[in-house]
Amino acid sequence: MNQIKSLVMFYNSQREKAAAYAGELEKLLIGKVILKKICVFAEHEKLQPADAALAVGGDGTVLHAARNAVSAGIPVLGINAGSLGFLSGITREDFISALPDFLSGKFVQTERMLLCASVRRKGNTVFGPFPALNDCIIRCADTRAFGLKAMRGGRLITKYFGDGLIIATPSGSTAYSLASSGPIAVPEQDLFILTPICPHALTQRPVILSTDKMLSVELLGTKSGSHRYSVSLDGQVVFPLRNGDIVEISEHTQKLKLIVPESYDYFAALRAKLRWGER
């Protein structure tokens, strides 16, 4: 990385600890860099170029920062001020001690793929395309099992009947997809993971697919009644669906640049945060 001269800081004002950490970091950075501070709940304009973005909070703050920073080509460093903080590259305490190294450009960048989702209704695009770092989730708010038809490159994958479907990226493989018995994927890979949510078929299991062809998922709904369906991106952007709507998912044209310390180890993070491999 190059020397850091300008920063954008995303923070969660509704989390007392995160807001306090953001204020503390702001004081440390005054006079060292050009800093713009953004609350994730506030309306803000399209980001102007900056050397890096800090996401101070939990994984939700990193997800918000990622979707906003990717179009501007701004690399993101997650500073954990939440509970799990799996997407964060460093803790608040370690960042303060490593601040001189960060500003001098001694951290490194990794790339993460994002998915891009849109909704077609009767041939027209009514939502998107919007990026997501973790996942795209189709489900019913009325806790009713319903039908979906998944296609890849125009060919049928399968029909699902259950509580919904998760289309996850490798970054999202350790989120809702993992809780639904999906596999863990190394984050530098480019792939989609299709994980059914409580399917009504014991033979339906998660599927890993390359990203070279578009996925389309049609909402078949139920035979009786009108229910509330939705598609959500990273659990933060939600759009209501109707029977017959088609959700189209492809790989985003841009990669997210994620900043981590030189010592960062993904498998060490798995072991520490998820107790992976423990007996």
| Main-chain phi, psi angles of 159, to 5 degrees | -105, 135
Give per-residue burial for 19-42: e unless 16+ CB within 10 Å, then b: bebbeebbeebeeebebebbbbee
Domain boundaries, the chain: 6-113+255-274, 115-251
pLDDT, one tens digit per residue, over 17-74 is: 888 989 999 999 988 999 898 988 877 777 888 999 999 988 899 999 999 899 889 9
135 is catalytic: no
Beta strand spans in 3-92 (E): 6-11, 34-39, 52-57, 76-80, 90-91
- % of the chain surpassing 70 pLDDT: 98
- DSSP letter assigned to residue 33: B
DSSP string, 77-93: EEEE-SS--TT-SEEHH
Q: Which helix (H) or strand (E) holds 96?
A: helix 92-103
As a whole number, mean pLDDT of residues 228-249 equals 95
Please compute Rg for the chain using Cα positions: 20
Topology (CATH level 3) of domain 6-113+255-274: Rossmann fold (3.40.50)
Whole-model pTM: value is 0.91
- The class that CATH gives domain 115-251 is mainly beta
Q: Residue 154: pLDDT above 80?
A: yes
- CATH fold match for the domains 6-113+255-274 and 115-251: no
Nearest-angstrom CA–CA distance, 69 and 223:
42
| Active-site position among 59, 135, 163, 234 | 59
